[in-house]
Structure 1
Amino acid sequence: MPLSKPVRRQLLHTRQVQCQGFERTDGLWDIEAHITDVKTHNVDNAERGGYVGAGEPFHDMWMRLTLDRSMHIHHVEAVIDASPFPHCPGIAGRFRQLEGTRIGPGWHRQARETFSGIQGCTHLHELLAPLATTAIQTLWPSEESEIMELAANVMLDRCHGWSRHQELIRKYIPHLYVPADTHVSDEQDSAIPDQSSRRHS
C-alpha cells in the first residue's frame, strides 16, 4: 500500500543510496554502497566554480567493504567524487581504520566513535549502516542452523524481529533467550560477544 496522496508540491532534492553485494572468486565478498544528492535547482557554491547545477551531484560518494563469511573486514575503499568543498576527499582514506574489525555487536558504536566530528565524513559514515545490513543479506546462509548462528552474532537485539525476548530465540538459541518481563542485566548483555575489536595479523 503506497503513501497517501500528498498536497500539491515540487521536487527539490533527491538522495539515492544503492547497495550491492558481490561474491568474489577468491572466497571473499565485496559490499558496495553509492550515495548521491541531486537538486532540481542551481545552488550557489564558490568552491564548485560558482554554483552546483541542477541535476549535478552535490554529493557523490562510494564505499566498498571486502569481508569474509565471519564478517571480518579485510579491506575498505572509500571515494568522494563530488562534495561541497575541495578538501572533503582527503578524509576518505581514514575509513580504512575499519579494516580488521568485524560487523557485529558494538561495530556501529566503534565506527561512530572512530569517525565522530572532524575525524570523519557525515555522508560516508551514513553508508555504514546500509553496508552492514547489505552484508548480512548477501552472506545470509541457506541452512537454518547457520542462520541462527549468524543472528546470534550480528542480528540479536538489532530489531524487533530478532529481539532476545521473541519465542523464535527461545526455540533456536535458548541460551540467549530472556523473557520479556525480565530486566536485561549487564552480565546478560555481555553474553553476546562483542567481536568488533580489531584483528591483528
Structure 2
Amino acid sequence: MPLSTPAERESVHTRHVTCNGYKRKDGLWDIEGELIDIKSFDLQVAERNDGIIPAGEPLHKMSLRLTIDYDLNILDVEASMDYTPFRYCPEIADSFRKLIGHRIAPGFTRLTRELLGGTQGCTHLLEMLGVLATTAYQTTHHEREKREDFGAKGGNPPPMLNTCHTFDVRGPVVARYWPDFYQGDDKVEK
C-alpha cells in the first residue's frame, strides 16, 4: 500500500543510495554502494565552486566497495569521495580499510561504529555500511542456499529465521515454507 497523499510541500534535499552486488570470476563478490546528496537550491559552502554548490550538483557523492568471500569475510575495501563539502573529507576514506579481516555477521553494525564512528570515519559512508551488509547477504544468499541446503529436512535452519516479523519461527511463513523449523502453537503438516 503506498503512502498517503502528503501535504503541499517543496523538495529541499534528495539522497540517492544505490547498492549492487557482483559475483566475480575468481569466486569472490564485490558489494558496491554509492550515496549522492543533492539540494534543490544553491548552497553556500566556502570550500567549493567559489563558495557555492549550485542546485542539482552533488553535495556528497561517495562510494564504497567491499570485496567478500563466500563466508562474508571482508577481504578488501575501497572508498571514494568524489564530491564533498570540505576538501578534508576525502582524507578519511582509507580508514574504511580497517574493515579488512572482519566478517559481516551479527554485531557488524556495532563493530563498524567502534572502528569508524565519530572522528574515525565519515558519517555518510558509515551509514552506507549497513545497507551494504544487507546487500552482501542478498547477493550471496542464492548460492549459500544451494550449497548449504537451508531448510531441508534434517538440514540447517534458514539463516533468515527470526530476523524480521515475516520470518518469525511461530508465524505462517515459516509454517508453510520451513515446517521443520516452525515453533508455533498450531499444528502444521510436515
Q: TM-score range by the shorter chain?
A: 0.7 to 0.9
Matched, 1:160 2:159: no
Residue number in structure 2 paired with 1:191? none
Q: Is the CA contact (8 Å cut-off) linking 2:78 and 2:94 kept in structure 1?
A: yes
Residue 67 to residue 59, structure 1, CA distance change in 2 (3 Å): same
Per-residue CA shift, 1:64-122, capped at 9, x if unaligned? 00011111111000011111110000101000011111111111111111111101100
Q: Is the CA contact (8 Å cut-off) linking 2:39 and 2:55 kept in structure 1?
A: yes
Residue 99 to residue 41, structure 1, CA distance change in 2 (3 Å): same
Matched, 1:98 2:103: no
Work out the CA distance in 1 between the residues paired with 2:115 and 2:19. Answer: 23
Matched, 1:143 2:132: no
Residue 73 to residue 34, structure 1, CA distance change in 2 (3 Å): same
Work out the CA distance in 2 between the residues paired with 1:45 and 1:172. Answer: 59
TM-score (norm 2): 0.81
Residue 46 to residue 30, structure 1, CA distance change in 2 (3 Å): same
Work out the CA distance in 2 between the residues paired with 1:66 and 1:104. Answer: 15
SS in structure 1 of the partner of residue 2 of structure 2? coil
Deviating 4+ runs (over 6 angstroms): none
Q: Is the CA contact (8 Å cut-off) linking 1:40 and 1:54 kept in structure 2?
A: yes
Counting matched residue pairs gives: 175
Q: Is the CA contact (8 Å cut-off) linking 2:67 and 2:75 kept in structure 1?
A: yes
Matched, 1:43 2:46: no
SS in structure 2 of the partner of residue 161 of structure 1? coil
SS in structure 2 of the partner of residue 159 of structure 1? coil
Identity %: 45
Which blocks of at least 5 consecutive residues in structure 2 are unaligned?
186-190
Deviates more, 1:159-168 or 1:108-117: 159-168
CA drift at 1:147: 3.9
Per-residue CA shift, 1:43-83, capped at 9, x if unaligned? 11111121111000000000000011111111000011111
Residue 103 to residue 163, structure 1, CA distance change in 2 (3 Å): farther
SS in structure 2 of the partner of residue 127 of structure 1? helix
Counterpart of 2:122 in structure 1: which amino acid?
C
Per-residue CA shift, 1:153-197, capped at 9, x if unaligned? xx45543334566583995558xx7x89xxxxxxxxxxxxxxxxx
CA drift at 1:19: 0.4
Which blocks of at least 5 consecutive residues in structure 1 are unaligned?
181-201
Deviates more, 1:24-33 or 1:138-147: 138-147
SS in structure 2 of the partner of residue 46 of structure 1? coil
Alignment RMSD (CA, Å): 2.5
